[in-house]
A and B are shown apart, each in its own frame.
Chain A
Amino acid sequence: MTDFLKNQTKRPIKFFEHHHVLKEFEKIFEYQKDKNLLYKIGFNNSQVSLLLNKHRKTLKDFRCSFSYFERIKSMKGIKKVADGINWSAIFCMRDILREYPQIMQFRDGFLTCDEFIEIIKSSYATKKDLVLNPYRKQMIGLFQEKYMQLVEMVAAEGNKNVKNVLCEITMRSSVINKYDRITGDAVTIIVDKILSIKQGPDDIYKIMHDFLYFQNHDPSKIRQLERHKIKNTKGVKNLLEIVRSYREGI
């Protein structure tokens, strides 16, 4: 837009492909992606800063394996759905991020490939989808090796035991990657459900307030939650059941 205002001509987008602003954008974008991934693993703010500033290469390698599993789609292919098309993911990354640190508190070696797949597979995955080819085995190895390296780096920097760091990650990760994390599909159904509630605004507010308590994904807010005041009423339970039914949706 700046270019257009300056030159009064609209140039093709390809003309700007090497523009320094795009390079800067790409840099910031990658930085944020790395930062988000570290947060999702369960590292706290100071650990995230440490890994971003000092161990970016290890993090990049980990992200490579993470993205591999995140992007794999079902061999069933694209399916038509009510509002367009859908291609199911066969691995649930939230599940592996939640379970892996728990299990590694007790293991001296890595999980076997079969164990890894058992944890990460989604309900959409078929037997064919889960075949262990050499590349997939390599990616499982890379995921585990780099994950543990990141944990070890944090432990070394903080003079902590690796198992202690894994326990801290377990606590944070169970909140961030909770089993019943809300999806867009669930939101659509919940909105319909709320619109059909024949109660006053105060009751609806109370249901929503209590429902949101169960959908907190920020470990730092746990201490501020008024857990004694929250009631898992039938209205809230209905919404939570919707979240669970659509947990693997988009």
Chain B
Amino acid sequence: MRLVFYGGGDEEENISLNHALIKLVRSSNPVITYIPACSYDADIEFSYFARHFKKFHISRMINFPVDIPFTDILLNEVLKSDIIYLGGGNTFYFLKTLKEVGLIPKFKKYALEGGILSGLSAGAIIMTPNVKTASFPAFDCDLNEEKLKNFSSMNLVDFEFFPHYKNSIRYEDELKKYSNKINRPLYACPDGCGIILDQDKISFIGKNYCFYKGKKILLKAA
């Protein structure tokens, strides 16, 4: 499996991660699909996304909002892409939409069969076992306006993910507390930082942290 988790930030902040993402591609003329968390500003976000990835000589891109009707014609092309990039936004809304349109199993299959799945912030959380990390800390969390009760997600990895992490006491306390309740590592990534999973090899870009059983560990960058 090849997965890339982005902690957040804009295109310029993520240039190292984007380089790492492109390095995972085996095709000479790759296709990237951008999947926004919400369609309202999808065209604007796609425009920034496409301009940025054009710098990497990628000339075939799909904008694929999932909260508006789409055809199987385009979905088939999406599932043939070299990279699927899940955008950032409200995690609960994004997960609810992906579940409603039946895309969670399809993207899971895509990743298990060799497609490169990547996600920024909400998109990255969705690749993990559940989206509980979007619901805390109270001072910086996604609103669950959709009243989503089932937080289970793609479950592609055996860790949880916390994006937009800021290395401060109040974040640290919240994450330590949460890590005591779970039996798997919780990776916390600030904007511009992230995780690359290439088959069995895991590497980190930037200053990332792991919270496990109430302890905080600084992770060594690649």
Residue in B closest to A227 when the chains form the complex, CB atoms = B44
Contact assessment for A163 and B47 in the assembled complex, using a CB-CB cutoff below 8 Å: no
**Interchain CA distance A102-B61 in the complex, whole Å:** 7
* Size class of the A contact interface (CB-based, 8 Å): 20 to 34
Contact flag A225-B44 (CB < 8 Å), given A103-B73, A118-B73, A179-B39: yes
Give a binary string over A138-180; 1 marks a CB under 8 Å from any B CB, 0 the rest: 0000000000000000000000010110010011001100111
In chain B between 54 and 100, which residues have their CB closer than 8 angstroms to a CB of chain A? 54, 59-63, 65, 68, 71, 73-74, 77, 80
Per DSSP, chain A at the interface is helix
**Interchain CA distance A225-B38 in the complex, whole Å:** 18
Residue in B closest to A222 when the chains form the complex, CB atoms = B47
Rounded to whole Å, the gap between the CB of A111 and the closest CB of chain B is 7
Rounded to whole Å, the gap between the CB of B3 and the closest CB of chain A is 24
Give the number of chain B interface residues (Cβ < 8 Å). Answer: 28
Residue in B closest to A105 when the chains form the complex, CB atoms = B60
Contact assessment for A232 and B41 in the assembled complex, using a CB-CB cutoff below 8 Å: yes
Q: Does B50 have its Cβ within 8 Å of any Cβ on chain A?
A: yes
Rounded to whole Å, the gap between the CB of A145 and the closest CB of chain B is 19
Contact flag A119-B40 (CB < 8 Å), given A171-B47, A175-B47: no
**Interchain CA distance A200-B10 in the complex, whole Å:** 33
- Picked from B45, B47, B51, B73, the residue with its CB within 8 Å of the CB of A119 is B73
Contact assessment for A103 and B65 in the assembled complex, using a CB-CB cutoff below 8 Å: no
**Interchain CA distance A175-B39 in the complex, whole Å:** 12
Binds B, one of A78-86, A189-197, A211-219: A211-219
- Picked from A180, A222, A244, the residue with its CB within 8 Å of the CB of B44 is A222
Residue in A closest to B143 when the chains form the complex, CB atoms = A234
Contacts of B65 in A (CB 8 A): 179
Contact flag A232-B60 (CB < 8 Å), given A174-B47, A175-B47: no
Q: Does A115 have its Cβ within 8 Å of any Cβ on chain B?
A: yes
- Picked from A111, A164, A213, the residue with its CB within 8 Å of the CB of B41 is A213
Contact assessment for B40 and A214 in the assembled complex, using a CB-CB cutoff below 8 Å: yes
Q: Does A25 have its Cβ within 8 Å of any Cβ on chain B?
A: no
Give a binary string over B20-40; 1 marks a CB under 8 Å from any A CB, 0 the rest: 000000000001000000111
Residue in A closest to B51 when the chains form the complex, CB atoms = A171
Contact assessment for A106 and B47 in the assembled complex, using a CB-CB cutoff below 8 Å: no
**Interchain CA distance A178-B47 in the complex, whole Å:** 12
**Interchain CA distance A178-B80 in the complex, whole Å:** 24
Contacts of A240 in B (CB 8 A): 40
Contacts of B43 in A (CB 8 A): 174-175, 178
Q: Does B212 have its Cβ within 8 Å of any Cβ on chain A?
A: no
Give a binary string over A206-250; 1 marks a CB under 8 Å from any B CB, 0 the rest: 000000011010010010010110101000010010001000000
Residue in B closest to A172 when the chains form the complex, CB atoms = B47
Contact flag A163-B73 (CB < 8 Å), given A179-B65, A222-B48, A232-B41: no
Q: Does B187 have its Cβ within 8 Å of any Cβ on chain A?
A: no
Give a binary string over A89-107; 1 marks a CB under 8 Å from any B CB, 0 the rest: 0000000000100110110
- Picked from A106, A175, A213, A244, the residue with its CB within 8 Å of the CB of B31 is A106
Contact assessment for A175 and B44 in the assembled complex, using a CB-CB cutoff below 8 Å: yes
Rounded to whole Å, the gap between the CB of B174 and the closest CB of chain A is 23
| Extra inter-chain contacts (7) besides given A99-B74, A174-B43, CB under 8 Å | A105-B31, A106-B77, A119-B73, A170-B61, A171-B61, A179-B68, A180-B40
User: Which A positions have Cβ atoms within 8 angstroms of B?
Assistant: 99, 102-103, 105-106, 111, 115, 118-119, 161, 163-164, 167, 170-171, 174-175, 178-180, 213-214, 216, 219, 222, 225, 227-228, 230, 232, 237, 240, 244
